[in-house]
Amino acid sequence: MVVASNNKGKIREIKQMVQDISLLSLSDIGFTDEIAEPFHTFEENALAKAGEIYRFCGKNVFADDSGICANALNGAPGVDSAHYSGTRDDDANLQKLLANLQDKDDRSGYYKAVMCLLWDDETYFFEGICEGTIIEQPVGDGGFGYDPIFVPNGYDKTFAELSPEIKNEISHRGKAVRKMVAFIKEKLEETAS
Ligand code: IMP
């Protein structure tokens, strides 16, 4: 199965969680372009990414579209998280979010991930949400993207300070990936019986 992403942080986390299914990267299948994500919802972008790679290689494929949503900004940056500052630079994007939240009292927000799976000519979606607080200064050097400013509910550390195991257990991506893996295992068992 192919994982349709060039984002190293996402791929690292997905590989940590999906150990009994062998995953091919975009470079393994010889895909070297940027994948377009032109839409305004996570679902449409995840489908567009998975579809582009399916048309390229014809193999079962899944794509993750994800982002961070600040409640005081009506859900921004949301689907624009990867290029919020006009660049793909994680630090510039994080700084722009901090600047836009500077005068806001409501620091609540959430990460959302939507996985689109194209499996044997059918399309399936799996979603995960992780709620928390967007703090004022970056803390920690693990994770990627907005992790140094995101403290998940129930914890007093940012995703960049928590271990990868804890992040995967509670994160938006962890929740979506576990739903997808359970679904695939069920499908494989049905086929085997
Ligand atoms: P896309 O799904 O390729 O549009 O990119 C998602 C973007 O959302 C990433 O580039 C990050 O900026 C942000 N993002 C999504 N998930 C996470 C996460 O787990 N940690 C930190 N940032 C994330």
Tokens representing 66 are 């994800």
Residue in 3, 5, 8, 10 to alter for ligand 1 test, most ligand atoms within 8 A of Cβ = 10
Contact 108, 71 (CB under 8 A): yes
pLDDT of residue 67: 98
Is residue 124 predicted with pLDDT exceeding 90?
A: yes
Ligand 1 centroid from CA 83, angstroms: 10
Distance CA 40, CA 27 (A): 27
Distance CA 77, CA 75 (A): 6
Determine how β-strand 61-70 pairs with β-strand 150-152.
unpaired
Distance CA 56, CA 59 (A): 9
The protein residue with its alpha carbon nearest to ligand 1, atom 15, reads: 67
Collapsed DSSP state (helix, strand, coil) of residue 46: helix
Dmax (CA) for the chain in angstroms is: 59
At 20, is the pLDDT very low, low, confident or very high (cuts 50, 70, 90)? confident
At 188, is the pLDDT very low, low, confident or very high (cuts 50, 70, 90)? confident
pLDDT of residue 191: 84
Distance CA 61, CA 4 (A): 7
Is residue 56 predicted with pLDDT exceeding 90?
A: yes
Residue in 35, 81, 135 to alter for ligand 1 test, most ligand atoms within 8 A of Cβ = 81
Question: Cβ of 19: how many Cβ atoms within 10 Å?
Answer: 9
The protein residue with its alpha carbon nearest to ligand 1, atom 21, reads: 145
User: Which residue of the set 65, 80, 90, 156 is catalytic?
Assistant: 65
pLDDT of residue 136: 98
The yes-or-no answer on residue 65 being catalytic is yes
For the chain, give the mean pLDDT.
96
Ligand 1 centroid from CA 130, angstroms: 13
Q: Write out pLDDT tens, residues 21-36.
A: 889 999 999 999 988 8
Strand partners, 113: 66, 128
Ligand 1 centroid from CA 67, angstroms: 5
Ligand 1 centroid from CA 173, angstroms: 10
Q: Which residues line ligand 1 (CB under 6 A)?
A: 7, 37, 64-68, 81-82, 93, 111, 143-147, 171, 173
Buried b (16+ CB within 10 A) or exposed e, 133-172: ebeeebebebbebbbbbbbbeeeeebbbbbeeeebbebbb
Query: Looking at 11-25, 63-77, 124-138, which range is the least confident one?
Result: 11-25
pTM for this prediction: 0.96
Handedness of CA 92, 26, 122, 19 (dihedral sign): negative
> What is the mean predicted confidence (pLDDT) over 131-146?
97
